[in-house]
Structure 1
Amino acid sequence: MAEAQLFVSHDEFTCSVCLDTLTDPVAIPCGHNFCLKCLTDCWDQSQVCSCPQCRHTFMLSPSLKRNNLLNEVIKKLKKTTLSPPPPQNYAGSGDMECDICTGEKFRAVKSCLTCPASYCQTHLQPHYEGDALKHHKLVDPDRNLKEKLCEKHQKSLEIFCKTDDSCICMMCGVTEHKNHEMVELETEREEKQVSDV
């Protein structure tokens, strides 16, 4: 079974006192999280116990206990997501370049058939995080993106017209090929691979 991917921002696990990743995280009644040491230091220097973030004041000092679940999540994320991204390589001869980088370009790690463009690791992130882009079709870096676009509509070729024996886009499917026999491009590819065997 495929694992679901969760994309989180480093800011979601940052203490607003020390501005670093939470260490021994504690949650206080207003719902904000802080490092245990940061919060106790803050309250030791003040006459009142108030949230350093929203300034909510507590009549009695809340009991502070480490949030074990949040602590484990942060440990796991430090090993993966929150660790610095792998060093980016500048595109060398034979490498696909990122279409977004300016100046010296990084090596592309994915191409988007919907955009159509190729992206380095940094510029690819919005495709994982943004709702508008996360449904785009990403493939390994591809020099021939233009060949995978309909010349007329500049849309991705996703349909195979069996009647005309050609790859077409969705717009062509509802206009010029309206009553033709059509299948998804992947379906046709699989059928041809099976018949070639």
Structure 2
Amino acid sequence: MAEAQLFVSQDEFSCTVCLDTLTDPVSLHCGHSFCLKCLTNYWDQSQVCSCPQCRHTFMLRPELKRNTLLNEVIKKLTKTTISPPPAPPSQNYAGLGDVQCDACTGKKFRAVKSCLTCMASYCQTHLQPHLEGDALKHHKLIDPDGNMKEKFCEKHHKSLEMFCKTDDLCICMMCVVTGHKNHEMVELEMEREEKQKQLEVTLSDIKRRLEEREKTLKETRRVMEEMKVSGIGRQ
């Protein structure tokens, strides 16, 4: 019996870390697969053990075992009709002052977006799962931000979403239930807007005072000039 022909995209069997066809594929509990070497190197260079694609964090580093079925499928397809992987979209390497892509290994591309849910920045290629996958479409994307660590709770590895007025501190949702019970809290965005309004009022007040001081200084100079002219006239 002739084998059934499979029509698949090369992207379905590509590692999102190296962007090449999977080699010695391993699969995580979140459902994403990577090259064994790529994932091992990625975790060796990271402080937390998480999925490079969806950022799901593991408390303990999982033991990586090759996905035998996926490996056989890839071998069979590479012997038949799979074409060479398409060239990645045109993009630039990160330079001085640019935000780097957290998912790139080796020389990193410039990030085009940062994700407040994943607490990471992505180049155009590694951003695609957020634009195409249903699981990541609800994540909040912002312009590239090089200070993502400042928006990240080091204790719980969660994004900072609340502001504790009692302790004057930005906290995550885990902090809310573990250490700030009965404290006065507001959403971080609301606190940011309030601080911005207060800053605008303060700047407006400073500007008003400077204008008044400048006006007083001009008047003082005018009086001194008049006194000087009057003194010369008397001589």
- TM-score, structure 2 normalization: 0.45
Give the structure with the higher percent helix.
2
Residues 1-150 of structure 1 aligned to structure 2 (within 5 Å): 87-150=90-153
C-alpha separation in 1, matches of 2:150 and 2:167: 18
CA-CA distance at 1:172 after TM superposition: 0.5
Aligned position for 1:192:
195
C-alpha separation in 1, matches of 2:106 and 2:155: 32
Cα contact 2:99–2:110 (8 A) shared by 1: yes
Q: Deviations over 1:40-86 (max 9, x none)?
A: xxxxxxxxxxxxxxxxxxxxxxxxxxxxxxxxxxxxxxxxxxxx996
- Amino acid corresponding to residue 122 of structure 1 in structure 2: T
Give the 3 Å change call, closer, same or farther, for CA 93–192 of structure 1 in structure 2.
Answer: closer
Structure 2: stretches of 5+ with no match in the other structure: 1-8, 10-86, 202-235
Q: Deviations over 1:142-191 (max 9, x none)?
A: 22211211121011011001111111000111221121111101101111
Match of 1:177 among 171, 177, 180: 180
Task: Find runs of 4+ consecutive structure 1 residues off by over 3 angstroms.
Answer: none
C-alpha separation in 2, matches of 1:99 and 1:161: 29
Structure 1: stretches of 5+ with no match in the other structure: 1-10, 12-83
Cα contact 2:117–2:159 (8 A) shared by 1: yes
CA-CA distance at 1:101 after TM superposition: 1.9
SS at match of 1:193: helix
Q: Deviations over 1:85-136 (max 9, x none)?
A: 9621121222122121233321111111221221001110111111221122
C-alpha separation in 2, matches of 1:193 and 1:103: 39
Cα contact 2:119–2:151 (8 A) shared by 1: no
Cα contact 2:93–2:107 (8 A) shared by 1: yes
CA-CA distance at 1:137 after TM superposition: 2.0
With 137-146 and 121-130 compared, the bigger mean Cα shift is at 137-146
Q: Percent identity?
A: 80
- Amino acid corresponding to residue 91 of structure 1 in structure 2: A
1:162 matched to 2:160: no
Q: CA RMSD in A?
A: 2.0
C-alpha separation in 2, matches of 1:97 and 1:194: 32
SS at match of 2:153: coil
